Structures are given as C-alpha cells and as structure tokens.
Structure 1
Amino acid sequence: MFQSRRFDPVFQCAALSRTHFRGPRSLARAFALGASLLALGACGPNAEAPEGATVEAEASGPTEILVTAAFTAVEGGGGPVGFLPDPNVPSLGFVLSAPGAGGIDIFDLDGILKTRHAGERLTGLAVAPDFELRGEALPLIFGSVGDAGAVRGFAVVRDGAQILDLPLGAMEPIDGVAGLCLMREGTGFVELVVLGTGAHAEIWRVRDAGSDQLSVERVRDFPLPVPARQCATLDGDIYTASPVGGIARLSGDGTILAEDPFRATNLALGDFNGTRLVLATSGTGETIETFDAESLVRGLSLDIIDGLSTQGIQLPAALAVTGEDYGYTAYANGLMVVFDTGAGRLKVVSRDALSRAILAVD
C-alpha cells in the first residue's frame, strides 16, 4: 500500500482487464478497481504462479494502471514537466511544470504548489540537479522559449523553493528554438539538445567560466528526419517527437537509428527493471503509448484509471518519468508525472506500478 502525507492510500497492483469503456466510466472503473483489490495477494511476496505460467494482455484493450495521486489544480494549462530530486531528503524533492500561461511552477510531493515563477511560456525543460555554481551546489533549469527563439536559464534555491533568473551568454541557434532537453551534465558544465524550428538540432554547452554570466558554445549541429518539438536522451542517444513526422532515435551525432510514425506531441524515457521504453502521448489519445527504446517497436498502450480516491487520467499530455528516490513507500523507486488536459492538473503514478504492469505483460 502506497501513501504520502496528504493523499489517501492507493493499492498499486496493476490489473489487466477487458477494454476500459470511457463513456460511462464509473461502472467500468468499479469493476477494474474490484479486480485490482482481489488481486492484491498476487502482488505480495507469498504469491506463487504455476511453473512456466505467463500473463498476457488481451489484444482488445490497453493495460490498465491505477493512478496514485493528483496535484493541486492551478491556472494556466499544461506544458513540459520535469523533476528536481533532493539527494539528502528524498521526500523533499520537487516536481516542475511549465504551464501554458508562462513561467515555472514548483510542486512538492504532497501536490501543493510551492512557487510560481512568472515568465515567458516555455516549450521545453531541461534540469541539471547537480550543478555547482562558484563552488556551491545550485540546481539549474533551462527552458526553450519558442515565441522568442531563445533559451533561458534559471537557478533554484531549495530552501523556500525559490527560482532566480540566470544570466546566460548569447545563444543563437541557426534555425531558431522550438524545444530542448538535457544531453548530459558534467563537472562545471551542462550540454543541451536544442531543437530548431525546422528539421535541425544543435548541441550547446553551458559552463561557469567565472564571468558575470554563464558561457555558452555550440558543440555541433545536425539535420533531423523531420521538424521536432520535444526531445529526451538516454545513454548518449537522442529521441525526438514530432506531431507530423513521428518518433525518431538518433545517435549523438545525428545518425538515424530507428523511427516510428506515431505522431507524438510529448515523450519520456524510462528503465523499468531492465526494460527500456519510450513513453509518448499524441495530445488527443486517451492512452500513453510505449515503444522499445532501441528499436522503437510499438508496445503496450497504458490506460491510467481511477484509484481509490483519485480520478484516472482522461487526456494525457506532457509527461516525465524518473527512477530517482522521491521517498515514501510509493515513490522510493521513482514516479511518472502526467499532465491531464481533461482535468487541468498533474497526476502521478508510482514507477513500481508501471514496472509491474510492463513486466507482467512482457
């Protein structure tokens, strides 16, 4: 049983059931929830299955997972989301959101809005949680501003969840700025993938050179198969999402390694006990689609349904997954956060619940 300080406990043994009817959902949810509660014994350490037994998802419907919690609703709509874990006290980690109205929101793990930093509308977020500025640990956030064709920097003071505007050197990508993501973080520097407005991407390095502003330099640039608006990275590979051209996996120098035509508006990457997946949403579909991270072969469709005290995700949009420890029983192995456009708020699923559902079908 998982719980935080604020939300009611939610049982998280994922159940594979028949097609989840989203019209009059209450009856279908009741059956799904009842099946999950009856199956709790199967989640426990004493549960046994016949040797060689397997669990298969029915081809007629998605894999259903119970939602864990919902955050406080705030005005402004949904945008990119991310994480700022706390290595010293995991339960004090933050969840970040760039609302459509502009700026950055910081939430605690109870789902309470701690800070709203006013500013431009950000189309992408990249977080460098371990950056040291002038010898002091100071997490950094970078955001792409599509309207201005620029990249902005922010520093986070954990005490009080304060966000400070960070002076950056002039960053002028060749093809403008549509989105960005973190490539890697090293000692004293951060590398960002910056997506252009056309089919183009660049790698930029940001570092503290001791001047009044952080220095920036273009490391390399390369073409993309199609214009992309969102990206994520894993082990040096870059994954891009395009609402018109699909999902692509590229090497760090831009070589195309795999593609799928799914028209994604948002994507995230996760490692679920050795199973590496791309998770993507279309902005109009009611499920989260999964793809093998190496081949981009289509996998499960995930339907996040009602928990005991929280309504399921109606229309998933921006999402992010982390394996970092966020404390409590539910989040010790990480979590997934999704903006539910239908409800106008962020909703959370325990990473343990995701892993059980994925591995049960595999």
Structure 2
Amino acid sequence: MIKIAYDYQVFSWAKYGGISRYIYEIATQIANTPSFEVKIFAGFYVNKYLDNCAPNLVKGWQIPLIPKSAKLVGAIDAELSKIWLHQDTPDIVHETYYSRNRIAPKRSKTVVTVYDMLHEKFGHTMKKKDRDFSVIKANSIKRADHIICISENTKKDLLELLDIEPKKISTIHLGYFLQNDLFKDDNRPIEDPYILYVGERKLEYKNFKRLIQAYATRPSLKDNFKLVCFGSRPFSTTETAMIDNFGINHSQIIYVSGEDKILANFYTHASVFVYPSLYEGFGLPLLEAMSFRCPVVCSNTSSIPEVVADAGEYFNPYEVDSISDALERVLFSTERTRELIDRGKERVKYFSWDKCAKQTQLVYKSLL
C-alpha cells in the first residue's frame, strides 16, 4: 500500500478555486484506486470542496473564513501538519502550494505542482510582497523530489528561469470542472447577443484594458453585442473610468458573478468566449467554454495554444486591432463559428481528471 499525503496549504485560505479543486480531484480519484492510501492533512480549513470527501480522507476541522486570519491559521496548520505527518510517515507528501519550510518527514518523498511562472515573468507589474514570494517558490521547487508542471509551456518557463534537472519534471495536464452534460439550461441569461469574458480583470497580464479598447473601437462589436464580464469583483472606479473614457455605455458592459450553474448558462448562450491573457500556466476557462459548445477567441501566447490547439481563433494580445479582427472573424461567420464549436467538442476529450489522476499515480510510483 502506497501512502500519499496532501498538505494543508491551499485548503487553509481558499474556499473555492482552481488549485484546491485540482488537489481535491486527484486526491479523491487516487483514494479510490487499489494499492493507494490517501489522506488530506487539512488542519483548520475553510475550503468547501472538502465537504464532498469521505470522512476518512480528510484530517482537520472546517472553520469560517475570518478576515486577516490566514497567516495565523496557516502557521497553526503548518505545525499541526508537521506533527501528523511525522506520526503517519507517508511515502509521498504532495505539497499543495509553495512552502517556506519542509514539513514532510525525512523518509517521505516530496512532490510539488508548479502552476505557472507568473511571478517570475511578470514580477515587475506586481507588489513587492508578490515579487518576494518568488524566493519561497524557488526554494520549494528546488527541494522537491519531483515536480509536476500543468503544461509544457510552464515546464519550458521553469527550465529557463530556475536551475532544475529536466528529469525531475513531469507535465500533466489538468481536467476541467464545468461540463456541458452536468448543466443544461435553455433559458438565455440575457436577451441580447454577448461576448463572454471570465475571471480576474485587475492584474495587468489579464490584458482586460486592451479587450475593452478592442470592443470600444469597433462599432460592429459595440453596436451588436454586449460584453459580459463574469467573476472577480464588481467594476472598480478605475475600470468604470476606463469604460467611460472609451465611450462605452454602461448598459453595454455587464458584470455578473455567481455559482457554477450561472456561469454554465452564460457559457452555453455566449456568441463567443474571449481570452485575451498575456500569460497563463494552463487556462481552465478555455476548456470550460469548449465543453459548453462556445467558440473560443484567444491569445496566441504561453500555454494557450497548447490547450486549445486548432479549436480557437487566435490573436496577438498586444495588438488591439488583432483582438478586434479575431472577434469579427468568428462573430460574423456562421461557418467559422460552427467549425470552432465542432473542434472544441473534440479537443476537450483530451482532458479529464481521470487521466490527470492516473498520470499523477505514475509519478508517485516512480519515486519509490
């Protein structure tokens, strides 16, 4: 029996989110595999995905999310996990994020997943505390016995930026969360045709400003389609001023948030899904959009072409006209729209949590 442990980190501060969902998915799938014994040492945690785990899979106690408590809770969880792990002595400890210090017993092999090299490539656009995080991250990666990268592009960036032996790295693509067969709603969320954007907008690498400019400067887009922005926070005063400066009526650009079934409905009825990011370690919304038969219009940078392959209409995210042109090529061509939907339907078959979990098991076995 191979004993696998996952640490507390991502579960102590994230109620929801891509990283905690990834760990939850692989942990629960591997736990159902003969010859593996799995435990999530969560400590005091806020994460909601763990509600769905079998009681014997999680060691810890769920607590409410208390503002400004993450640092204290994390410190307590680190000590708890260290005690528990030394009592349990697992064969493999999979660190769920980048830790300052090793908490695994000496006899345990350690694995860490690298989600992107964003801080290293875009540190100049971030606050000092975010830039300093790169040092902790590098130490965590270098001391690991094995590293999982979620895309070949992330692996390439890692090898360029840190002195790591290539043989210590495996690439394992993610699965995806929202799937068309789980959410079916024939009722349109809004009556007008719309372009859908999903996720964070504030960070510079998300490239939201150029998307707004591309939308605003083409009457064919602005006059015929709303722009729906799903998720993150409501528009800030800075974003509102930017929208005003580009001459966009506030009825044309809509902020929406909500649970998975609401997002699923917006994917289902969108004219296109647009993804203007300058850099991504993977890009889960791309798979979600394709799963819901939504044509994808996206950047030609970083890991995005690796995920989308021939199922997207690409643009140069640094050029506003390139974004506008790509949107027009799809929005005003029934043939191209149908082609992208069909290709997306085939492309998502390549990605699944079952596949991700099985490849992760092979990594664990290779270390023993």
Q: Is TM-score (shorter-chain normalized) higher than 0.5?
A: no
TM-score, structure 2 as length reference? 0.26
More strand by percentage: 1
